[in-house]
Amino acid sequence: MTVDTGESNGHISRHIYGHFAEHLGRGIYDGFWKKDANGDYIIRDDVVAAMKEIGVPNLRWPGGCFADYYFWEHGIGPKEERPTVVNNLWGGVTEDNSVGTHEFLALCEELEAEPIVVGNVGSGTVEDMANWWQYINHPGESPMANLRRENGREEPWDVHYWGVGNESWGCGGHMRPEYYADLYRRFSTFLHGYKNVRPFRIATGPAEADYNWTEVVMERAGDRIDGLDLHVYTIDGSWSTHKGQAVNFDESGWYRLMKRAMWMDELITNHTAIMDAHDPEKRVWLIVGEWGTWHEQEEGSVPGFLYQQNTLRDALTASVTLDIFHQHLDRVKMANIAQTINVLQAMILTDGERMLRTPTYHVFDLYKPHREATALPFELDRGQYEFAGNTLPAISATVSKNDEGRIHVSLTNIDPHQARSVELSFDGMKGMSVKSARILTADEMNARNTFDAPDALVPVEFDGAKVSNGKLVVSLPAKSLVTIAID
């Protein structure tokens, strides 16, 4: 591997490491919030503390599919007066609207995260969305700002990031791209800039390889779009039949999931090419607003709650995906893994008062040094991981340099059996030393953390990185991720 320390492959925005909290399963209730002794929902301090350790640059809410069923007026005012609704999408449970606008934005303040609010296009009106925007952001005298003050918030929250609908091609209305593009133009017209806030307008982007959606929406509405929201999930199997188990899988399941994760590179490349034709200045961000692994939910969990365990396999698909994002920094400026707590590829799982950090959480911890750093270009012989006559690149990587000049290297070996020796040369760098190194790995492909053993799989110090003859030589174990700091 040869790294050019004097060049830049782009700026790694912290927003690529964003998160997602939908009213789905136990993501909100029994996730970020729990009931106190009086039966009222309060923010979980342990969850907030854990998430602040890895940093939460942004948090997307209230969905997801739930966004296009959500009426914000139901979630303001005295909680005992808020109406209840049935969450027909996710488990058919009754939503009592205990967590609404004020509660979510208070959570963002505690997390020191930028909120991303997704407005209701599927079942709402232009007036609904415009009023919500005004309620949140208007600094002066206005009907909605005064209503906000009546509900206890004097100052606006200054929310910039605003989604105009979610998955409008699917659960958000099953729209054609032509129809959505016109609706987007209409709805976005009424998101007015206020004193401290200009709306950053996020349009529904494509599902996976729906290149026609990107073409039509960019052609018809690209001049009014700030971010286009691509959704891609990593599955082992089929959407229509079976998506595979989170824990009980063999090497064929390992291989298929890694192959699916690497598909992200092709998708971003192709969608970027379409966006470039309509936006050669690259003004519009490509936002991967929902990504992560999606398995069959755990046996015995509530149907529709999408609760799944999280193993070393999930962790390495996350590191591979983040590496892909870092190779497309001219377009990819924001992303949101789905979802933060108790849903899909979660950072955290809870069980009553107990909480654990998943292997994916530890990937985000190992990648913290890359945030807001400069990505360095490199050439890499990735080797080959072979399985059943098929091959994938074995090694994935990110190299970055921070403002202090320290270089961080993250290397992922997806091969579950074979260790690799990687020799790194750093052009333009005289002398080096390993400041620190940590590794995430395990003996078993499905290693995971449980409530009885919450620290079974955590990063530990790594002694397999040595400087020899002016080069960094890394002995990279099978199925592992390492991050190395170099001075």
Q: Which residues are catalytic?
A: 167, 290
Paired tokens of 399: 């190299």
Spatial distance between the Cα atoms of 232 and 465, rounded to a whole number of angstroms: 34
Q: Are 251 and 297 in contact (CB under 8 A)?
A: no
Helix (H) or strand (E) holding 238: none
Q: Are 479 and 416 in contact (CB under 8 A)?
A: yes
Spatial distance between the Cα atoms of 148 and 135, rounded to a whole number of angstroms: 6
Q: What is the largest CA-CA distance in the chain?
A: 71
| Runs of H (alpha helix) within 138-250 | 143-150, 177-189, 211-221
Q: CA separation (Å) from 274 to 204, 219, 230, 284, 345?
A: 15, 10, 13, 12, 29
- CA 402, 404, 405, 409 torsion-angle sign: negative
Give the residue from 359, 252, 353, 351 showing the smallest Cα distance to 310: 359
Q: CA separation (Å) from 20 to 84, 125, 331, 441, 451?
A: 23, 24, 20, 26, 23
Spatial distance between the Cα atoms of 332 and 282, rounded to a whole number of angstroms: 10
Q: Are 473 and 422 in contact (CB under 8 A)?
A: yes
Phi, psi dihedral angles at 203 (to 5 degrees): -90, 150
